[in-house]
A and B are shown apart, each in its own frame.
Chain A
Amino acid sequence: MEAKSPFAKVVIHGLLVLGSVLFLFPLIWMVSTSVKPVSQTQEMPPRMFPYAEVMDAQDGQSYPAVFFRETPEEAEKLVALLERRGEEARIEVEVAGIVKEQRWVPATAIREPPVWRWENYISAITYKMEELGYIPFVRYGKNTLYIAILSVLGTVLSNALVAYGFARIMWPGRNVAFAVTIATMMIPFPVLMVPVYVIFKNLGWIGTPKPLWVPAFLGSAFNIFLLRQFFMSLPFELSDAAKIDGCSEFRIFRDVIMPLAKPALAVVALFNFMYVWNDFLGPLIYLTDQKTYTLAYGLQAYQSQHGGTPWPLVMAAASIVVLPVIIVFFLAQKTFIQGITVTGMKN
């Protein structure tokens, strides 16, 4: 349907812009919170963007706030900068709790805080580093990538093989076997959750990432279905010609079909990557040691440890988990949309 009248066009654009604002706002709010100092996240009315901080001094006036570090070992604290003269600056420091004292300090001891606190991201990433002996986010990122790479590899390989067996070779009982495969999609995960856990427990895999990637090498009904549909659509003359040339079934699979199936394989790989990246229940069940956490799971631990107080850090951590997904989406947007369309329409 084409919108004809200019009035209708304006209304449609208006509604879409309104909708876009509503859909984008939470994400923008996440990023905007992540670059604010804590104090600016608790204000009413809230402001969209961070602004330069000020501090009230004892004389009742507002002065710009700066970071002050007394000795190199000490943590930075926020103080009011009263004036700056050459290499020296006069600040008001809180001493022993409530008493405030004015002091001249060398200009090198103070640092003007950036308005946009991108350093929140560094704080979020390196938080708790001393206790653990590693940087949690880097560690979790590595764990996630390790599982994701193996899982994507396994998913593409196993499902392509199985789908080929269902699509390009004729064998007695094939249709029944395929129907059974499709029927397994109806079994909800909660039914399998307990017995599969018991299996992995008996194998001694609880606490290791194995339960999260080994099953990928055994195929999954949904991906088999998806790839089978695609393999069926490739002309069978290709296989026949290769067979006449004396190719084995496996060589036809590897040299003829796989190169042609790249778009479908990309969809399967992409969806699997997203699945692993977002998976929460799997790590929650199988990972017991904090060292082995994935990013999505680590994020939850991070949030619950903080009890949600320093929102800028929590939002920075959340942004770090969201960002790669969005980057992957933009890099492979076409494949993505195609994949969703195919999986949603062909029933």
Chain B
Amino acid sequence: MPPMPHSVPPKRPSGLTRVQKQDLRNAMLFISPWIVGFVGLMAYPIVMSIYYSLCDFSVLQAPQFVGAANYRELASDDVFRRAMSNTFVYAAAAIPLGIVLAFIIAMLLNTGVKGMAVYRTIFFLPSLVPAIAMGILWLWIFNGKSGILNYLVQSASRPVGWATLGLLLISPLFLAWFLGRSLGDDGKLCRWGALAGAVAGFGLVGLGWKVGWIGSLTTLELNPPSWLSDTFWVKPAFILMSLWGTGHAVVIYLAGLQNVPVHLYEAADLDGANWWEKTRNVTVPMMSPVILFNGIMAIIGTFNFFAIPFVMAPGGQPARSAYFLAVNLFDNAFLYLRMGYASAMAWILFLIVFLLTMLAMKLSEKHVHYGGS
């Protein structure tokens, strides 16, 4: 904390000295824009929002008080419920995946590789793309007929099939070797284990061949969905897009990783910790406040997820499976002109975000380590 001027707190607000009075007057002048902004665009709107949420209000006519009717209607609104479950499904997948992906990329960047700044720029670029441009670009990529993604999925069919086959072949071998190693760290056991694994692997493949599904692996034909018009695949499509824009978090995590004191790793090295132990016991705990903060920001962002679904899935098509809360709210307010109903929805939204934030803080209480350096 830097030292403050005139840090003697006034004992009696009524009896301010001349300097204190002058300071107060100056301060009020300096913060006057915010006073106007706070009262006009924050405090008053919040009060009005509560009031509107208890009214039938179409903007064209004066609001009519209806009590809790809007909230009661929300409880039985199927579309709202649909939007809610869509948003939760999206959040439950996109937020953890985004955190893990960004963290992995940041850790790779933090290994002291050459060209770190170049890689960082590349990973960051997509998160610069305006939401609308992003939506339009991915409409084209996801296009069912001539979209590039489906072409790539189709042409990856065979390699994926062969890779699966290869994995099947070597996995028993690897498993046996690993088992042998962990049992006794004895070379002989390892070799015999590997041999047994190899035999088992070939046996498995032989069996598979006999049954017939090996043949279908080598001639695999993946049948990609038409993403944005498929009630199931539209959400994975949005999740995939959200991962593309994760570069922002990468930059933050990377900065956090660079702040982890080196002496902690040195101490871990002295204790003979391997890479995984260092990651689990040093990196993740030291990064936990940054992860928590970004997680909460992601929750808020997800519940305000608007522009992309608005452009890519008008009206939440197909069959409202891409209808998200913020879009539902916008439609109620500005399409159906049900401003009171939309206000009630906004407060429910606020409550959800608030509770989720509290939950995240509570759950992470034991795992988040503040301070340190």
Contacts and interface: CB of A to CB of B under 8 A. Distances in A.
B326 A190 contact: yes
B326 A345 contact: no
Interface string A238-258: 011000000001100100000
A32 to B, nearest CB: 10
Interface stretch (B83-91, B188-196, B349-357): B349-357
A12 B314 CA distance: 41
B44 A195 contact: yes
B139 A341 contact: no
A303 B139 CA distance: 10
A192 B30 contact: no
Contacts of B141: 26, 29
A219 B290 CA distance: 26
B136 A299 contact: yes
Interface residues of B, number: 107
A184 interface: yes
Nearest to A9: B113
Contacts of A12: 108, 111, 113
Contacts of B109: 16
Contact of A278 (B9, B123, B124, B130): B130
B265 interface: yes
A196 B49 CA distance: 9
Interface in A16-47: 16, 19-20, 23-24, 26-27, 29-30, 33, 41-46
Nearest to A217: B33
A141 to B, nearest CB: 14
Interface in B293-315: 293-294, 297, 300, 303-304, 306-307, 310-311, 314
B333 A218 contact: no
Contacts of A345: 252, 255-256, 259, 290, 293
B118 to A, nearest CB: 8
A152 B132 CA distance: 21
Given A19-B105, A27-B125, A281 B45 contact: no
Interface stretch (A79-87, A101-109, A127-135, A311-319): A311-319
B304 A190 contact: yes
A165 B27 CA distance: 5
Interface in B15-73: 16, 20, 23-24, 26-34, 36-38, 40-42, 44-46, 48-49, 52, 59
Interface stretch (A70-78, A113-121, A322-330): A322-330
Interface in B119-156: 119-126, 128-133, 136-141, 145-146, 148, 151, 155
B306 A194 contact: no
A319 to B, nearest CB: 8
A235 interface: yes
A148 to B, nearest CB: 13
B136 A303 contact: yes
A192 B306 contact: no
A300 B45 CA distance: 29
B174 interface: no
Contact of B112 (A1, A280, A318): A1
Contacts of B297: 344
Contacts of B364: none
Given A15-B108, A24-B122, A192-B42, A187 B137 contact: no
Contacts of B111: 1-3, 8, 12
A166 interface: yes
Contacts of B122: 20, 23-24
- Chain A interface size band reads 35 or more
B302 to A, nearest CB: 11
B132 A296 contact: yes
A284 to B, nearest CB: 8
Contacts of B339: 194, 197-198
Given A3-B113, A12-B108, A191 B347 contact: yes
B92 to A, nearest CB: 19
Interface string B261-276: 0000100000000010
Contacts of B30: 161-162, 164-165, 169, 249, 253
B38 A181 contact: yes
A26 B251 contact: no
Contacts of B247: 23
Contacts of A168: 5
A241 to B, nearest CB: 11
A303 B9 CA distance: 60
A29 B306 CA distance: 25
A98 interface: no
Contacts of A46: 146, 148, 151
A115 B2 CA distance: 63
A30 to B, nearest CB: 5
Interface stretch (A49-57, A58-66, A170-178): A170-178
Contacts of A197: 59, 333, 339
Contacts of B136: 299-300, 303, 314-315, 318
A259 interface: no
B329 interface: yes
A33 B140 contact: yes
B234 interface: no
B119 A20 contact: yes
A7 interface: no
10 closest A-B pairs (Cβ-Cβ)? A218-B37, A165-B30, A344-B252, A195-B45, A165-B31, A195-B48, A341-B255, A278-B130, A219-B34, A158-B33
22 contacts: A2-B111, A27-B137, A29-B141, A41-B146, A43-B146, A46-B151, A158-B37, A184-B42, A190-B329, A191-B349, A195-B49, A215-B37, A236-B4, A296-B131, A303-B132, A308-B139, A318-B136, A321-B133, A322-B129, A337-B255, A340-B252, A344-B297
Given A233-B2, A326-B128, A344-B252, 12 more contacts: A16-B109, A16-B119, A19-B105, A166-B31, A172-B24, A188-B346, A189-B304, A190-B329, A236-B2, A315-B137, A326-B125, A344-B248
